[in-house]
Amino acid sequence: MKDDRLPYSLLGLGVALLLWGSYWGLFRAPAEAYMGDVQRIMYVHVPTAWNAMLALTFAFACALLSLLRGQAVWDARLEGALEVGVTLSALLCMQGAIWAKPTWGVWWDWDPRLTTTAVLVFAFGAILALRQFVDDPVKRATWAAVAVIIAYVDVPIVYFSVKWWNSLHQAQSTPETVSRAFHWPLRINAFGMLFLMSGLISLRARLALLRHEDETAPPLPEPALRTAGAARGAR
């Protein structure tokens, strides 16, 4: 079995950075001119968004490699990235709703960014759920990879939706669109979330690989005692 120190170290580093970045964002960074203290939600919402997209992009790369190489390890990584990506995307919608209420006056709006993100959660969540219904590991890996490649079309649509359509949601948060006073807590939390996401994907992929080994292992031989007992009964 592989050494587990790397994923646990990534988790620890991620948690430490998230605590530091959140402390900075909550108590040391200045309030924004128009949104006031409510803007502090950005320090957790934007890193969640970036890393949800990254996790699903990694799932897309794993899907391609799973189809091209046919190795179980790429299907296990796909499963890990998919579960983490769906969790972060669902969390992203909840954080967004909490930020929307004081700024837009509503918890939810069928705005292009919000709608395409909801589609993303349901599409990838459905793939994750439907994987459980396919018993054959080879068929499961093939169709899950194809489904992830198709569903991934929504990821660039989510990213560019605020540019392509007239959206209530603000434009993408980049160093050009965010004040320099807000950069550090945003960067620290972004790296914290990146390390946390990497550690979780790694552990979840290892779990998927262990289960795959169990599924494909040859059946165990009958216990010697039972064989001997049956032989005596036949006499």
Binding site for other proteins (CB under 8 A): 1, 11, 22, 26, 33-38, 40-41, 44-45, 48, 84, 87, 90-91, 94-95, 98-99, 101-103, 196, 200, 203-204, 206-207, 210-211, 214
Amino acid at 189: N
Q: Which is nearer to other proteins, 219 or 233 (CB)?
A: 219
| Min separation Cβ 229 and other proteins, Å | 26
Q: What are the beta bridge partners of residue 65?
A: none
Smaller CB distance to other proteins: residue 12 or 229?
12
Closest approach of other proteins to the CB of residue 40, in Å: 5
How far is Cα 214 from Cα 218, in angstroms, rounded to an integer? 9
CB of 220 to other proteins, least distance (A): 13
DSSP E strands in the chain: the ranges are none
What the block records as the tokens of 179 is 């004040």
Task: State how far the alpha carbon of 88 is from the alpha carbons of 49, 81, 124, 157, 167, in Å.
Answer: 7, 10, 12, 17, 22
For residue 38, the minimal CB distance to other proteins (Å) is 4
**C-beta closer to other proteins: residue 46 or 145:** 46
Nearer to other proteins, 98 or 138 (CB): 98
Least separation in angstroms between residue 153's CB and other proteins is 26
CB-based burial, 164-190: b 16+ in 10 Å, e otherwise:
eeebebeebbeeeeeeeebebbbebbb
Instruction: Closer to other proteins by CB, 54 or 200: give it.
Output: 200
For residue 32, list its beta bridge partners: 36
